[in-house]
Structure 1
Amino acid sequence: MLSIIICSVLPERLRKISQNIDETIGVEYEIVTIDNREKCWSIARAYNEGARQAKYPNLFFVHEDVMFHSRNWGVIIENKLREPDCGVIGFAGSKVKLKCYSGWFHNNEWECTFLYQKKGNKTKLEACNVFLECPFEEVVTLDGLGLFVRKEVWNLYPFDEKLLIGFHCYDLDFSLQIAASKQYKNYVCCSHEVLVEHFSTGTYDQNWYRDTIRLHNLKWNKILPMKVHGLNLSKKKEKKNEEKYLNIFLRCLLDTNYPEKRTVLKEFLFYPFSWKHLGHCISNLYKYIK
């Protein structure tokens, strides 16, 4: 039994996903719609309100621009959620979250993804680190296009609507909270019996950078890095990747209209990089600081 929670702003998209779910889910369900056209709530608040209204023990927070291509997928998900240590299940995630600013993703080595992604006029099957023998792969972080979780777990770790007042980072924070508890494991669903298509990609504008920086500085910097159990990550490799991805984050941020570029750039220059890496970074960033 699944309570499906949708924060909706486009009635036609809501109609389509509702019909698609009805035709494919294969288990008892309800749809809890938060009409956000007038409320203009943050997605964290909308999802928490939807969860409070839900009558079933399993929750599914999902974007309205999603479509399932397989039938009876609800059976597969419900079976996994019955495992006592199952946390959140999604369709894209990472086995590592470093301390540096980032979303759920760092690189292909740690990424685990299994979904159809619409790109322009074509749809690409994105399958990264997926194995036939493993219908579910453990991860730390998850992308928010679709998140399954038991209501009892959400009750312990609801979306942080006090800190996250916009439409970004709710997925990163939610999955990190549950992974950090050490009670539950998060997973990417890699089963060929659960095929989902996502029609849009994320928006990495100045608001995303603002919320990402706030989330790291106010909540997660003292706890990260985090990785799945059994993954070998040496301190040398960890530091090297921290340097690399913080550099990438900053370069992308400086190409936006983010209003506090100088503050972030100053923080970057005082980061404890190796001298060789710092010199490389400064040469790459010269156009921004000259």
Structure 2
Amino acid sequence: MISIIICSRTKSIPDSLLDNLKKTIGIEYELIIIDNSEHKYSIFEAYNIGIAKSKKNIICFLHDDIHFVTRDWGGILIEIFNKNPNIGLIGVAGAKSKTKMPSAWWNCPEEDKCMNILQYFKNGKKEHWCKGFEYSDLEDVVAIDGVFMAAKKENTISFNRELKGFHNYDLNFSFEYLKNGYRVVVTKNILLEHFSIGNLNEDWYTSTLQIHKFYRDFLPLNKSSFVSLKNYEFSNGTNFIEKLLKYKKKREGFNLWKKVFLINPISKFHFTFFRSFFK
């Protein structure tokens, strides 16, 4: 019923994860491991290879550093898809809005975040992030996090072959399902532990510029009760520009600044920008 696809940074996934999958999924499944220990593939390429190999009608993409707490989570997925034929993609963390300005999915109003996940930090501590489910255990979002993505398999939907690297594949997949008329949702009924936390390095900023350029005519997206994302457009844009300048990407920073200027031409940020730009 479910094809589990994992892009592994090593030649095999940990025995602890194999054992955890067997004990918790609760239904028939196949496991497809893409050996990327030699970095032959981008995450987009690796996941497309996994889709091509899959034989089931539900495909589930997992990080290799997780542990499921919920029992019979496979059955929960099947039930959600069966009861809601217009749902195409399910996650455990995501956001109800996404600005046109480049940003991570979580750079949105706090009220727009939906998640149920046990997140570990480098110091060994963990936090249970559970929010956004005041009215339902299933919330519509516009983007989900790539730690867990369960999708209804569609021959017309895959990961973008033009995008490279290891970032923003989750935005890519979320937007493609939305573009094809499907709902993208986050469920409260599946809980997992995630043992690492993402790193927003220079590669991430380059990738984020690329994917926002690719979807520039599709964004912004907003399924929340907020009337306007204008303030978040400006703050996401200015924060991103500051990081671009930090990485000496002045041309990209200037191009983005022109768009930010149109949102709010009288902000003090513009003086700060030019001081940094001409350093």
Tell me the TM-score normalized by structure 1. 0.88
Provide the rounded CA distance (Å) in 2 between the counterparts of 1:68 and 1:99. Answer: 34
Secondary structure at the counterpart of residue 266 of structure 2: helix
SS at the partner of 2:171?
A: helix
1:251 pairs with one of 242, 250, 275: 242
* Cα distance in 2 for residues equivalent to 1:285 and 1:113: 38
**Aligned mates of 1:18, 1:281 — CA distance in 2:** 52
Q: Which of 187, 194, 198 is the equivalent residue of 1:189?
A: 187
Confirm or deny: 8 A CA contact 2:102 2:208 kept in the other structure: yes
1:118 aligned partner, one-letter code: Y
CA offset digits 1:32-85 (Å, max 9, x no partner): 111111362011111111111111111101110011012111111111122210
1:129 and 2:129 equivalent? Answer: no
Name the residue aligned to 1:265: 253
The C-alpha deviation readout for 1:115-142, integer Å capped at 9, x for no partner, is 00001211110112123x5221110011
How far does residue 239 in structure 1 lie from its aligned partner after superposition? 2.2
Find the aligned partners of 2:272 and 2:68 in 1 and give their Cα distance. 46
Aligned to 1:15: 15
User: 1:283 is matched with which residue?
Assistant: 272
CA distance in 2, matches of 1:224, 1:2: 31
Equivalent in the alignment of 1:225: 220
Paired with 1:43 and 1:216, the residues of 2 have a C-alpha distance of 18
Alignment pair present for 1:53 and 2:44: no
Kindly indicate whether residue 83 of structure 2 is the aligned counterpart of residue 88 of structure 1: no
Amino acid at match of 1:96: S
Question: How far apart are the structure 1 equivalents of 2:251 and 2:153?
Answer: 40
Residue 100 of structure 1 corresponds to which residue in structure 2?
101
In 2, the alpha carbon distance for the partners of 1:225 and 1:39 equals 33
Percent identical across equivalent pairs? 32
Contact 1:114–1:130 (CA under 8 A) maintained in structure 2 = no
- Give the distance between the partners of 2:175 and 2:74, measured in 1 at CA: 24
In structure 2, the CA distance between the partners of 1:26 and 1:39, relative to structure 1 (3 Å rule), is same
Do the aligned residues in 1 keep the contact of 2:241 with 2:257 (CA within 8 Å)?
no
Cα drift, residue 288 of structure 1: 5.0
Q: Distance in 2 between matches of 1:104 and 1:128?
A: 15
Using a 3 Å threshold, how does the CA distance of structure 1 residues 28 and 287 change in structure 2: closer, same or farther?
same
Paired letter, 1:102: S
Pair 1:87–1:274, CA change in 2 (3 A): same
Residue 94 of structure 2 aligns to which amino acid in structure 1?
A: G
Output the CA distance in 2 between the equivalents of 1:209 and 1:10: 25
From the superposition, tell whether residues 285 and 15 of structure 1 become closer, same or farther in structure 2 (CA, over 3 Å): farther
Change (3 A) 1:203 1:247: same
Tell me how many residue pairs correspond in the alignment: 274
The residue matched to 2:163 in structure 1 has which SS?
A: coil
State the distance in 2 between where 1:57 and 1:26 align.
17
Task: Tell me the equivalent position of 1:62.
Answer: 62
> How has the CA–CA distance of structure 1 residues 68 and 285 changed in structure 2, closer, same or farther, with 3 Å as cutoff?
farther
Q: Distance in 2 between matches of 1:242 and 1:88?
A: 26
CA–CA separation in structure 1 for the residues paired with 2:257 and 2:87? 40
- 3-state SS of 2:6 partner: strand
* Alpha-carbon shift at residue 114 of structure 1 (Å): 0.9
Distance 1:268 1:43 in 2: 27
Does the 8 A contact of 2:43 with 2:166 survive in 1? Answer: yes
Contact map agreement 1:51 1:59 (CA 8 A) in 2? yes
Offset at residue 251 of structure 1 (A)? 1.9
- The alignment's TM-score, normalised by the length of structure 2, stands at 0.91
| Gaps in structure 2 of 5+ consecutive residues | none
Cα 1:39–1:202 shift into 2, 3 Å: closer
Q: 1:46 to 1:268 in 2, by over 3 A?
A: closer
Indicate if the aligned counterparts of 1:18 and 1:31 stay in contact, CA closer than 8 A.
no
Measure the CA separation in 2 of the matches of 1:188 and 1:285. 41
Query: Which residue is 1:274 aligned to?
Result: 264
Cα drift, residue 270 of structure 1: 1.8
Structure-1 residue corresponding to 2:168? 169
Task: Give the distance between the partners of 2:4 and 2:28, measured in 1 at CA.
Answer: 11
